[in-house]
Chain A
Amino acid sequence: MSWAWFHKLGSPKWFFSWSKPWALPLFCFGCLSLLIGLVWGLVFAPADYQQGNSFRIIYIHVPVAMLAQSCYLALGAAGFVFLVWQMKMAPVFIKAMAPIGAVMSLVALVSGAIWGKPTWGTWWVWDARLTSVLVLFFLYMGIIALQNSLEDQVLANKAAAVISVVGLINLPVIKYSVVLLETLHQGPTFTLTKKPEMPAEMWLPLLFAVIGLYCFVAGVVLWRMQSEILMSEHRSSWVKQEVTKHGF
């Protein structure tokens, strides 16, 4: 395998034209799969014998919580790539991804709180996973606030990359530390090594929803990156062609 694609990623023009046909199909497929998962989960999956129907919140809560973490992983990786190889696309990615991650962690927090009320009898529990998602939310908001308040673009890019990488290094420590605080939360739903304990008609829709949300986010992030590229490359002639020839 050649590394050419990796270096091409450094070129905004190449990335723009490469990613252009991908955004809409990814987004549509994501929406479709998410919809299948949610309808299946809401209408057809059997109720949980302990939690009853409130467990159906899992079909939105778990995908969103997974995304909240994956987005940060991607953010940290992009930050690392930028600091080491100075790749131009990395800060664009961070800028596009941070708001999505913030939204995902916010939804995870709210849906988790709503789920907590009938299950634990309280909206909020200071347990490991809730606390770490809350911290995650703060980290995203920090990155967004930092980027908004730095005017110098070069500095803003560097700053976002540094704080993402530092966050990525710190995240395992934060998770470990909050695990030390007592945990009330149930174990992870999906693990790579173990077969899930739920029956198939319960976890299959979840799988659809998770895959769907990943594709949804991929589509959205590509769109956001494309806007970002157009704005930052507005001096080059290909952008001029791009926006004047094609309509919307």
Chain B
Amino acid sequence: MAFNSLTEFLMMGTHGVYVWSAYGFSTLTLVWLVWNTLATRRKTRDTLRKRFLRNQAR
């Protein structure tokens, strides 16, 4: 463990702002990527299922 306390960990010496903003931005962007991917996946399946059901009903 490189830090003695939680405050020290959050401060990161004097570089807390930099480290946490870098990690924050990266995490948010990667989460957005996954969310976008899964949303596209669900939307594709939904559209196709609706289309097939509609065609069956006809």
Interface, chain A (partner B; CB < 8 A): 27, 38, 42-47, 52-54, 56-57, 60-61, 64, 99-100, 103, 106-107, 110-111, 114-115, 117-118, 216, 220, 223-224, 226-227, 230-231, 234, 239-240, 243-244, 248
Number of cross-chain contacts by CB at 8 Å: 103
The answer, yes or no, to whether B51 is at the interface (CB within 8 Å) is: yes
Within the complex, which residue of A38, A42, A43, A107 is in contact with B25, where a contact is CB–CB below 8 Å?
A107
> Given contacts A53-B15, A230-B44, are A114 and B21 in contact (CB under 8 A)?
yes
Q: How large is the interface on B (under 10, 10 to 19, 20 to 34, 35 or more residues)?
A: 20 to 34
CB of A248 within 8 A of CB of B13, answer no
> Given contacts A52-B14, A114-B22, are A227 and B2 in contact (CB under 8 A)?
no
Most buried by A among B14, B15, B23: B15
Residue numbers in A under 8 Å from B36 (CB-CB) = 99
CB of A54 within 8 A of CB of B12, answer yes
Residue numbers in B under 8 Å from A43 (CB-CB) = 1-3, 9
CB of A111 within 8 A of CB of B25, answer yes
- Complex alpha-carbon distance, A238 and B32, angstroms: 31
Interface residues in B1-36 by Cβ distance below 8 A to A read 1-3, 9, 12-16, 18-19, 21-23, 25-26, 29-30, 32-34, 36
The answer, yes or no, to whether B41 is at the interface (CB within 8 Å) is: yes
CB of A223 within 8 A of CB of B38, answer yes
CB of B33 within 8 A of CB of A220, answer yes
Output the nearest chain A residue to B56 by Cβ-Cβ distance.
Answer: A244
CB of B30 within 8 A of CB of A110, answer no
Interchain nearest-CB distance for A2 vs B (Å): 32
CB of B18 within 8 A of CB of A57, answer yes
Within the complex, which residue of A27, A57, A111, A230 is in contact with B45, where a contact is CB–CB below 8 Å?
A230
CB of A244 within 8 A of CB of B49, answer yes
Output the nearest chain B residue to A239 by Cβ-Cβ distance.
Answer: B48
CB of B15 within 8 A of CB of A44, answer no
> Given contacts A45-B2, A47-B2, A107-B25, are A223 and B37 in contact (CB under 8 A)?
yes
CB of B48 within 8 A of CB of A230, answer yes
The answer, yes or no, to whether B58 is at the interface (CB within 8 Å) is: no
Within the complex, which residue of B1, B42, B44, B52 is in contact with A44, where a contact is CB–CB below 8 Å?
B1
Residue numbers in B under 8 Å from A117 (CB-CB) = 18
The answer, yes or no, to whether B57 is at the interface (CB within 8 Å) is: no
> Given contacts A60-B22, A60-B26, A114-B18, are A248 and B45 in contact (CB under 8 A)?
yes
Residue numbers in A under 8 Å from B19 (CB-CB) = 42, 53-54, 56-57
List 3 tightest A-B contacts by C-beta distance, closest first.
Answer: A54-B15, A53-B12, A114-B22
Residue numbers in A under 8 Å from B26 (CB-CB) = 60, 64, 107, 110-111
CB of B22 within 8 A of CB of A227, answer no
Residue numbers in A under 8 Å from B42 (CB-CB) = 248
Interchain nearest-CB distance for A133 vs B (Å): 14
